[in-house]
């Protein structure tokens, strides 16, 4: 959507005057969670300041103090509530507008209007902060605040972890829709640790693609706030475009802080370490 069309779309949903924009704060997440998701007085009253209980009972979300102050300074206006992730210049796109408050002629907030086209961002949804660049791209893509291609671009140069199956292959599973064969892949020690204490290997995208079982897809961060499947062909194209080769292992330092990783076993003659996987005790 072009900038001009975005401005026109916002204007069509509001009063004839320009809409002052009020950022969504952390305390506003419940009100900004999407169409029809109303905040309760119990959940919001302590953090959002004074609440008009009668209006909350009528279905209007509790009014944050900073919105009341804006209404007093601009009577008879609509105030657009912007998602905190939107940082562009000019009028925000319609999907970044959580909704609108209206002030009456006395400067009191009297109405809330949901935006049916609103896309709650990871911050507005209360998701945990991204743990790595792939996780960040995944969260933005899943909520419509970033391109899906960014996920595979980041994954192409990232080091990831996979669980090890008996025999040394990659552990496979079935996707939540019970239709796709998947290999769970974790993009940070945090997501790996959250998923369980199992034997695992770390590897780059090229090795992951080489070892991926036939007819399987990659399933990113099953333990995170949002997961995503990646087709191997799409990742292979991203790897080819990146043209990056990594020889260093940058995971183990981070893992030492949160996971007990077994030392590699050495053969009886002191030669090559034995065992293909890092095992968790």
| Confidence check: pLDDT of 11 > 60 | no
Q: Percent of the chain scored above 90 by pLDDT?
A: 53
How do the domains of the chain map onto residue ranges? 3-114, 133-274
pLDDT digits (tens, 9 = 90+) for 120-173: 999 999 999 999 999 999 999 999 999 999 999 999 999 999 999 999 999 999
Q: Percent of the chain scored above 70 by pLDDT?
A: 65
| Confidence check: pLDDT of 183 > 60 | yes
Helix axes 133-143, 149-156, angle to 10 degrees: 170
How confident is residue 91, by pLDDT bands cut at 50, 70 and 90? confident
Please provide residue 265's backbone torsions phi and psi, each rounded to the nearest 5 degrees. -80, 140
**pLDDT (0 to 100) of residue 63:** 87
Average the pLDDT over 169-183 and give the result: 92
Superfamily of segment(s) 133-274: Uncharacterised protein PF11572, DUF3234 (3.40.1350.90)
Q: 265-266 and 228-230: which strand pairing?
A: unpaired
How confident is residue 270, by pLDDT bands cut at 50, 70 and 90? low
pLDDT digits (tens, 9 = 90+) for 92-123: 889 999 999 999 999 999 999 999 999 999 99
DSSP state of 240: H
Among residues 119, 89, 137, which one has the least CA distance to residue 24? Answer: 119
**pLDDT (0 to 100) of residue 92:** 86
102, β-bridge pairs: 78, 111
Q: CA–CA separation, 123 vs 87, rounded Å?
A: 13
Which one has a higher pLDDT value, 243 or 268?
243
Mean pLDDT score of the chain: 75
Does the pTM surpass 0.85? The reply is no
Among residues 100, 144, 98, which one has the least CA distance to residue 122? Answer: 144
Phi-psi region of 90 (alpha: psi -120 to 50; beta: other; left: phi over 0): left
């Amino acid at each position: 959507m072009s900038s001009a069309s975005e401005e026109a779309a916002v204007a069509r949903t509001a009063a004839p005057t320009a809409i002052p924009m009020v950022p969504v704060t952390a305390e506003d997440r419940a009100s900004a969670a999407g169409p029809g998701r109303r905040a309760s007085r119990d959940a919001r009253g302590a953090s959002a300041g004074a609440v008009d209980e009668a209006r909350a009972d009528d279905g209007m979300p509790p009014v944050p103090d900073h919105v009341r102050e804006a209404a007093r300074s601009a009577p008879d206006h609509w105030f657009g509530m912007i998602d905190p992730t939107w940082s562009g210049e000019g009028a925000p796109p319609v999907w970044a507008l959580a909704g609108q408050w209206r002030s009456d002629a006395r400067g009191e907030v009297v109405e809330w209007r949901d935006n049916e086209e609103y896309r709650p961002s990871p911050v507005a949804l209360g998701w945990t902060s991204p743990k790595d660049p792939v996780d960040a791209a995944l969260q933005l893509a899943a909520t419509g605040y970033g391109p899906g291609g960014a996920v595979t671009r980041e994954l192409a140069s990232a080091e990831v972890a996979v669980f090890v199956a008996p025999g040394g292959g990659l552990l496979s599973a079935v996707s939540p829709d019970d239709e796709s064969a998947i290999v769970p892949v974790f993009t940070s020690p945090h997501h790996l640790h959250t998923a369980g204490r199992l034997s695992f290997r770390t590897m780059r995208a090229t090795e992951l693609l080489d070892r991926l079982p036939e007819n399987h897809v990659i399933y990113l961060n099953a333990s995170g706030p949002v997961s995503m499947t990646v087709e191997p062909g799409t990742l292979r194209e991203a790897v080819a475009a990146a043209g990056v080769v990594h020889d260093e292992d940058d995971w183990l330092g981070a893992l030492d802080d949160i996971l007990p990783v077994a030392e590699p076993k050495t053969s009886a003659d002191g030669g090559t370490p034995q065992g293909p996987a890092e095992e968790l005790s």
